[in-house]
Amino acid sequence: MTDSSCEPQRWLQRSTVLAISFALLTTACGSGSVSSPGSVSSSSASALSPSQSPPSQSPPSQSASAQTVSNDSRSPAVSSSPAASVDVASTKPAALRPPALKGVTWLPLPTLTRGLTAGYTSHPGSSTWMLWMNPQLLSFRFIPGTKYPEHSPVRAVDNQPATWVPTMVTAFNGAFKLSDHVGGYEYAGHVVVPLKDGLASLVIDHHGALRVLVWGRDSKSATGLLLVRQNLPPLVDHGVSMTRSTDGLRTWGRTIHNTRRANRSALGALPDGSLLYVYGHNVLPSELAAALVHAGVVTAIDLDMNSGWPAALTYRHSGAHLKAARLSPYMHQLLNAYYKRIPKEFIAVLTR
């Protein structure tokens, strides 16, 4: 005869085993990650051998591989309507995806971060090109130029490329000259030009987190921030273009020969906290803003413009070598430009 006093213990043991098995199965099924070719190597800055061939004058033909993210169920669409930004830290890195846009295929950056793809570039491009970045997997480093921003403080690490080049995934240009009177600038605890309320601001804290916001509304204090770089009013605010038909030739920056069209760039924040750099070749400010709004950007800051300075480069690490590529064939910046300080500032984007 079976002892009935042992039955509750046996039942409890079976329940515990079943619960543990179910938990293990759930964890295994929910731990999928996105991968792409390439890896990050611990290379030194002195061992770099980038190609420096000039860009072609027509967009290159690229084929989307199985690693690409296209406009399907894997890439949820981002609404173009205004939405409150979410806390990026509360979102799993693999859950963030570039916005699903009709006719756009997203190609993964060649360098992985913790085994995950941290950014994508848009394909194809005709007049605008996009670089999407996952801030949970990336750290942002401001490198002041040797001439601009004018009178900028310089930290010792700013002159040490080995502190950013070995882990650099991508990099992009900064903003206008301060002499263009486009806003304030604070860096490394120094106020170079006082900050002004209502202006678009690119801010980076001491942990390398970057945000795009409107000063005086979204933030009023530089406490805890390494950088606050302002540049004109926001190009996009609350998901709406701030350009107007009555804008003058210099409302959104002075072009060469006072033409309306120019090469332009901007950085925007999406509702999920991810970031989108957009470059436009020979575009109007309204066209650049429209591309940002179409992608679902909530707030955007206008960055550098005209032929020479707007440039985003992506990097593939291979042993002790680093191979750079331009986001757009119409960018004129040298492929080795961001391997050291250059006359104007730039943002180096690093693996976390």
Which one, of 212, 91, 149, lies nearest residue 343 by Cα? 149
Sheet holding 236-237, edge to edge: 105-108, 119-123, 128-133, 275-283, 262-269, 299-305, 236-237, 240-241
Percentage of the chain modeled with pLDDT above 90: 69
The model's pTM: 0.77
Model confidence band, residue 267 (pLDDT cutoffs 50, 70, 90) = very high
Q: What are phi and psi of 289, to 5 degrees?
A: -60, -40
The 10s digit of each residue's pLDDT in 200-252 is 999 999 999 999 999 999 999 999 999 999 999 999 999 999 999 999 999 99
Tracing tokens 């678009």 back to the chain, one arrives at: 200
Q: What is the mean pLDDT of residues 54-69?
A: 40
pLDDT in tens, 280-332: 999 999 999 999 999 999 999 999 999 889 999 999 998 888 999 999 999 99
CA distances from 184 to 80, 175, 190, 226, 327 (A): 29, 11, 11, 14, 29
Q: For residue 76, what pLDDT is reported?
A: 31
Does the pLDDT value for residue 21 go beyond 90?
A: no
* pLDDT score for 37: 31
The pair of structure tokens assigned to 342 is: 């250059």
Residues 274 and 138: their CA atoms lie apart, in Å, by: 10
Nearest CA among 117, 155, 168 for reference residue 324: 168
- Residue 222 in tokens: 């530089």
DSSP tag of 86:
P
- What pLDDT, on the 0 to 100 scale, is given for residue 176? 98
Tens digits of residue pLDDT in 96-112: 999 999 999 999 999 99
CA-based Rg of the chain, rounded to a whole angstrom?
Answer: 23
CB 302, CB 200: distance < 8 Å: yes
Least confident of 42-51, 222-231, 236-245, 258-267: 42-51
Give backbone dihedrals phi and psi of 181, rounded to 5 degrees, phi first. Answer: 55, 55
Candidate ranges 24-33, 45-54, 72-81, 103-112; pick with highest mean pLDDT:
103-112
Which has more confidence, 79 or 139? 139
| Domain residue spans of the chain | 85-180+229-244+262-351
Query: Quick one: tokens of 195?
Result: 């900050």
Task: List the structure tokens of 220.
Answer: 């009023």
CB 112 within 8 A of CB 293: no
